[in-house]
Amino acid sequence: KILITGALGQIGTELTNRLVEIHGAENVVASGLDRWQKNLTSAAYYERMDVSNTQLVRQVIKDYEITTVYHLASLLSGTSEKQPLFAWKLNIEPLLNFCEMAREGLISKIFWPSSIAVFGKGIPKENVGQDVVLNPTTVYGISKMAGEKWCEYYFDKHGVDVRSIRYPGLISWKTPAGGGTTDYAVEIFYEAIEEKKYKSYITENTAMPMLYMDDAIEATLQLMAAPKEKLTVHTSYNLGGMTFTPKELAAEIKKEIPEFEISYEADFRQKIAESWPASIDDSIAKKDWDLNYTFDISEMTKDMLKNLRIKLKK
C-alpha cells in the first residue's frame, strides 16, 4: 500500500485523489495531523499521525504493509521563519526516519518535496541550472537543502530509492496553501472573486517560478513511475513551470474580471521572494523522465476562477 503524510495539505489532498484514481482507494493510506477530518480525503484508510512520532509511523508502516511513502508533511517558508527550531525538526527528522526504514527494507520507495527555496545568493536570477551552488537564506530553504543531501546520501550509500522535485510556487483551488511566500498567487484568486481587489504582499515586478497544481501532480507521478536507472539526479529535480510577476497575474485576472484592482504592500515575505530565482532550467527532468506542462498562465487563471466560483458559490 501507499502512505501519504500531509495528506490534507495543498499538495497532499490532490496527490491522494490521483493515487486513489490510479491505484484504488484500498491501496492508499492518508495521514495528517491538524485540520484532521475523515471525510476530507478520498483514501480508504485514514491515520491521524504526527510524523515526528517515529514509533507510531513505524507501526502504521507495518500494520498496512506500506511499500511507497509520499512524505509531504512540512512547514512552508513563511511559517518556518517564525518557528525555526520546530521547522527544522519537522522538515528533516521524519524524512531521515523514512530513509532509515528504506535502508532497513521496511519500505521500498519514497517521494519527498524540495523547493526552489534551496537557491539563494550568488547565482543568476534567470534559468537557474540543476547543479548550481545552493545558498539558501531561509529556515525552510536550509531544511530543504539538508533534506536533499540526505536523499543523495541514502541513495549513494544504501541504494535507497528516494525521489524528489524542487517545486516552484504551487497554485490550486481545492485546498488553501499554508504559510508559503508564493501563496499570494493563490489568495489573489479568492479575493478577486470575493472583493474584486487584492493587496499583494509581494511587489508588482517580483517574478517567481510558479506551477498549476494539476501539472505539479502529474510531474510527481511521472517521476515516481520512471524506471530507476533513468534517473540521474539524486538530490532533487529542478522543476520550473512558468514565471510571472504579481502585475502579470493581475492582468490575466482582469481579462476575466475587468473591475479587478491590485495594490501592493510588501511584508517580510518580499525579502524571501527576492532571494529566490525568477526562472528555472528544468531540462534534465525533461530528459530523464519526460516532464511536460499543460497549463500556461491564462489557462490556469481561467481554471482557477471557474472552479473557485463553484467552490465559493459566487
Residue choice 9, 12, 136, 180 for contact with ligand VAH (CB under 6 A) = 180
- Smallest gap, in angstroms, from Cβ of residue 116 to ligand VAH? 5
Query: Minimum distance between the CB of residue 141 and ligand VAH, rounded to whole angstroms?
Result: 8
Binding mask 31-70 for ligand VAH (x = CB under 6 A): ----------------------------------------
Asked whether position 169 contacts ligand VAH by CB under 6 A, the answer is: yes
Q: Is 76 a residue that touches ligand VAH (CB under 6 A)? A: yes
Q: Which residue is nearest to ligand VAH (CB)?
A: 180
Please name every residue paired with 237 in a beta bridge, in sequence order, or none if there are none. Answer: 165
Interface of this chain with ligand VAH, residues 126 to 145, rule: CB under 6 A: 140
- Using the contact rule CB under 6 A, the part of the chain among 26-34, 175-183, 191-199, 211-219 near ligand VAH is 175-183
Least distance (Å) between residue 160 CB and ligand VAH: 23
Smallest separation (angstroms) from ligand VAH to the CB of 238: 12
Asked if 13 is part of the footprint of ligand VAH (rule: CB under 6 A), the reply reads no
Verify whether residue 140 is a known catalytic residue. Answer: yes
Name which position in 27, 41, 77, 279 contacts ligand VAH (CB under 6 A).
Answer: 77
Instruction: Identify which range of 17-25, 64-72, 178-186, 253-261 contacts ligand VAH by CB under 6 A.
Output: 178-186
Q: Of the two residues 57 and 269, which places its CB atom closer to ligand VAH in the complex?
A: 269
117 lies in the site for ligand VAH, by CB under 6 A: yes
Of 46, 140, 201, 212, which residue is the catalytic one?
A: 140
To ligand VAH, the closest distance from the beta carbon of 34 in angstroms equals 17
**Is 108 in contact with 163 (CB distance < 8 Å)?**
no
**Secondary structure (H, E, C), the chain:** CEEEECCCCHHHHHHHHHHHHHHCHHHEEEEECCCCCHHHCCCCEEEECCCCCHHHHHHHHHHCCCCEEEECCCCCHHHHHHCHHHHHHHHHHHHHHHHHHHHCCCCCEEEEEEEHHHCCCCCCCCCECCCCCCCCCCHHHHHHHHHHHHHHHHHHHHCCCEEEEEECEEECCCCCCCCCCCCHHHHHHHHHHHCCEEEECCCCCCCEEEEEHHHHHHHHHHHHHCCHHHCCCCCCEECCCEEECHHHHHHHHHHHCCCCEEEECCCCHHHHHHCCCCCECCHHHHHHHCCCCCCCHHHHHHHHHHHHHHHCCC
State how far the Cα of 263 lies from the Cα of 252, in Å rounded to an integer.
15
Contacts with ligand VAH, residue ranges (CB under 6 A): 76-77, 115-117, 140, 168-170, 180-182
Active site positions, annotated: 140
